[in-house]
Amino acid sequence: MTSPAPKERIPIASDHAGFEMKQKLEEVLKKMGYDVQDLGTNSEASTDYPDYAHPLAHEISEGDAKRGILLCGTGLGMSYVANRYPHVRAAVVWAPEIAELARKHNDANVLVLPARFLSEPEAEKILKTFLDTPFEGGRHERRVEKIERKEDIPDVSDGEIE
């Protein structure tokens, strides 16, 4: 008898602006069969988004978790923090089509949701699309690799920019 595949652990975190939506998405993730790791916040009390983005981004950067979910009001603050970490590609996503392209073309590994600008059904659709869409590879592989290799980038300036 073969044992079932281990559940993928998905860390999720928000500030106060994303707290309510985070709670809802955790239920969705559990129903999808994921092992959800809630990194806070734990209430709607005002808090600072970097306190939650740093621990999650560290996990992804170190390869301890493959994918993660962040939420704040606009998605911007969380993405600024997460994208400072090597190997983290955090995508602010406001539509399922963007989620699909963020996975297919950019191999995004952190989904960042602007909680104040999405309904719950919209967020759920985006989440499912993000998790279910594979990276396309091919020409996108080269481009994604170049994100962290600026020393290999050709000079495309016309020589006039100092």
Where does this chain bind ligand RB5 (CB under 6 A)?
15, 17, 49, 72-74, 76-77
- Name 10's Cβ contacts closer than 8 Å, sequence gap at least 6: 29, 34, 35, 36, 37, 65, 67, 68, 69
Residue of minimal Cβ distance to ligand RB5: 77
Give kind and range of the element (H or E) at residue 119: none
Q: Which residue in 54, 58, 105, 140 is the catalytic one? A: 105
State yes or no: is 54 an active-site residue: no
Whole-angstrom CA distances from 39 to 19, 23, 78, 111 are: 11, 12, 13, 15
Min dist. Cβ of residue 92 to ligand RB5 (A): 10
Task: Choose between 48 and 62: whose C-beta lies nearer to ligand RB5.
Answer: 48
Task: Choose between 34 and 47: whose C-beta lies nearer to ligand RB5.
Answer: 47
Angstrom distance (rounded) from CA 78 to CA 18: 11
Residue 140: Cβ-neighbour burial (10 angstroms; 0-12, 13-18, 19+):
middle
Min dist. Cβ of residue 129 to ligand RB5 (A): 22
Angstrom distance (rounded) from CA 24 to CA 112: 15
State yes or no: is 16 an active-site residue: no
Task: Choose between 36 and 112: whose C-beta lies nearer to ligand RB5.
Answer: 112
Task: Choose between 95 and 141: whose C-beta lies nearer to ligand RB5.
Answer: 95
Q: Which residue in 58, 72, 87, 140 is the catalytic one? A: 72
Min dist. Cβ of residue 76 to ligand RB5 (A): 4
User: Known catalytic residues?
Assistant: 72, 105
